[in-house]
Amino acid sequence: MSSLIFTPGKIGPIEIKNRIIRASAYEGMCENHEPSEQLKEYHTALARGGVGMTSVAYASVCKSGLSFHRQLWMREEIVPGLKELTDSIHEGGAKACIQLGHCGNMSHRRYCGQRPVGASGGFNLYSPTFVHGLRKDEMIQIAKDYGNAVRLAKESGFDAVEIHAGHGYLISQFLSPYTNHRKDEFGGSLENRMKFMEMAMTEVMKNAGNDIAVMVKINTRDGFKGGMEVDECIEVAKKLEEMGVHCLVLSGGFVSRAPMYVMRGAMPIRSLAGYMPWKQLWWLRIGVSLFGKLLIKDQPYKEAFFYEDALKFRKALKMPLALVGGLHSRETIDMALNSGFEFVEMARPLVHDTEFVNKLRDGIVNESGCRHANYCVARIYNIDMQCHEHCKVAPRLQKELDRNMKRNEK
Ligand SMILES: Cc1cc2nc3c(=O)[nH]c(=O)nc-3n(C[C@H](O)[C@H](O)[C@H](O)COP(=O)(O)O)c2cc1C
């Protein structure tokens, strides 16, 4: 079968020149929650490097959803900066997407400026503070914030938005029985747990109109006992198809409970703790140093790690689907595209090498050089996301990094 990789594909109103999308992967390049020169350069390099579309990661739709100090926050005053960013991505030859979300109970009090909110109350280890379960009027406001963020994305020249409804962030916290313990009309049955997502998506679709592609990143399963399983996640996908969403990105995992399910491999615990800013996150640093191995369990890496579950979604849905997770070689990408997934998304191969797609196209490489040491993830609490090969590793962390690399190469 001939390869579909470098053929164009459609998502709602837009056409993308090939089937590879840079997955949303938090860059840590937005000091003061606004776009920077570094963010522009990075995404322009990805565009020049051959991706069909690049997704700017994890912009919060409102202040209460912030968890990092270098995370984008959608507001009127950053539109000119975002416009510069999308112009530059377009000049580089790619379409531009922005991921929109809300961290919910994983928001950080220091950055979100209030007690974090969630589907239900509880304790937020990341802040650390108690979480306030959202009232209905607050949910209506946040749903409107999703719509407003889409409007701002459109004004900024983005071709697509990706709503984050997976990985245990706010929408996912409502969907999952693990975090949703509500006794009102938003809790209990799956139908009720989907209601907040529907509220937010109604605003998203209204503001998107016919001008911008709407994608939603969802879980194929949460990845732990007591979370959502495939059958419920397929119902969520069907609801989104019914609402007119143009493409679903099939992922999985729950950052507060099964973080490595999202990306697989081992987490370099000492590096993760070592890069946490002592002043702001001393309790988390101590906690991760002492209990990190228990809290963040390794999950063996394999290629296309959501593929089997994702095939069940392919069968149940007619809409375009993008598969993410371990699409790191030409062979695996071809397998996914030939199985009916319209697009593949990738994060780490492009963290490793922004030129990866051009190199695939030109036959220079057939697989990514990323070895899933996940050092790029360990850095994101404090500094920008980068591959260990492109930055200086703190000498005290080098040994651990080497150990991780070896383990992953076995
Ligand atoms: C450094 C890093 C940051 C990430 N940040 C995000 C994020 O902000 N939003 C998101 O949906 N997924 C995020 N992810 C997950 C990726 O989008 C992707 O789903 C996952 O890494 C699996 O794809 P891969 O095997 O191509 O890396 C991140 C992954 C990495 C490595």
228 close to ligand 1 (CB < 6 Angstrom): no
Whether 162 and 185 map to the same domain: the answer is yes
What is the domain range of residue 109? 9-265+300-369
Whether 65 and 178 map to the same domain: the answer is yes
Which residue's alpha carbon is nearest to atom 8 within ligand 1?
26
Phi, psi of 371 (to 5 degrees): -110, 15
- The pLDDT, as a whole number, for residue 221 is 98
Which residue's alpha carbon is nearest to atom 28 within ligand 1?
25
CA of 30 to the centre of ligand 1 (A): 17
370 close to ligand 1 (CB < 6 Angstrom): no
CA distance 398 to 372: 16
Q: Is the peptide bond before 128 cis (omega within 30 degrees of 0)?
A: yes
Q: 376 pLDDT band (50/70/90 cuts)?
A: confident
Whether 306 and 395 map to the same domain: the answer is no
Measured in whole angstroms, the distance separating CA 253 from the mean position of its chain's CA atoms is 11
Give pLDDT tens digits for 248-293: 999 999 999 999 999 998 887 777 777 777 766 777 777 777 777 7
Residue 350 lies in a domain: yes
Which residues are 28's β-sheet partners? Answer: none
> 3-state class of 10 per DSSP?
strand
Q: Catalytic: which of 26, 58, 111, 169? A: 169
Residue 101 lies in a domain: yes
Q: Is the pLDDT of residue 109 over 70?
A: yes
CA of 183 to the centre of ligand 1 (A): 33
CA of 91 to the centre of ligand 1 (A): 25
CB-based contact 139:145 (threshold 8 Å): no
- The beta strands (E) that lie in 129-211 are given as 129-133, 160-164
Whether 344 and 376 map to the same domain: the answer is no
Q: Indicate the average pLDDT of the chain.
A: 92
Q: Is the pLDDT of residue 80 over 80?
A: yes
CB-based contact 71:58 (threshold 8 Å): yes
CA distance 227 to 284: 24
197 close to ligand 1 (CB < 6 Angstrom): no
Whether 312 and 287 map to the same domain: the answer is no
CB-based contact 340:357 (threshold 8 Å): no
Whether 48 and 150 map to the same domain: the answer is yes
- The pLDDT, as a whole number, for residue 254 is 97
> How many structural domains compose the chain?
2
Residue 3 lies in a domain: no
CA of 272 to the centre of ligand 1 (A): 16
How crowded is residue 242: how many other Cβ atoms within 10 Å of its Cβ?
A: 10
CA distance 357 to 301: 21
| DSSP class of 151 | H
Whether 248 and 182 map to the same domain: the answer is yes
What is the rounded end-to-end Cα distance, in angstroms, of the chain? 31
Is 169 marked active-site? yes
CA distance 239 to 374: 34
376 close to ligand 1 (CB < 6 Angstrom): yes
Whether 181 and 284 map to the same domain: the answer is no
Whether 382 and 236 map to the same domain: the answer is no
Whether 131 and 198 map to the same domain: the answer is yes
Residue 1 lies in a domain: no
Residue 2 lies in a domain: no
Residue 384 lies in a domain: yes
CA distance 167 to 251: 8
Instruction: Determine the residue type at 46.
Output: L
Whether 393 and 363 map to the same domain: the answer is no
CA distance 397 to 198: 45
Which residue's alpha carbon is nearest to atom 3 within ligand 1?
25
CA of 25 to the centre of ligand 1 (A): 4
Q: For Cα atoms 312, 316, 321, give the angle at the middle one, nearest 5 degrees.
A: 80
Give pLDDT tens digits for 165-211: 999 999 999 999 999 999 999 999 999 999 999 999 999 999 999 99
59 close to ligand 1 (CB < 6 Angstrom): no
For ligand 1, what atom is nearest to the CA of residue 217?
Answer: 11
Residue 4 lies in a domain: no
Whether 146 and 186 map to the same domain: the answer is yes
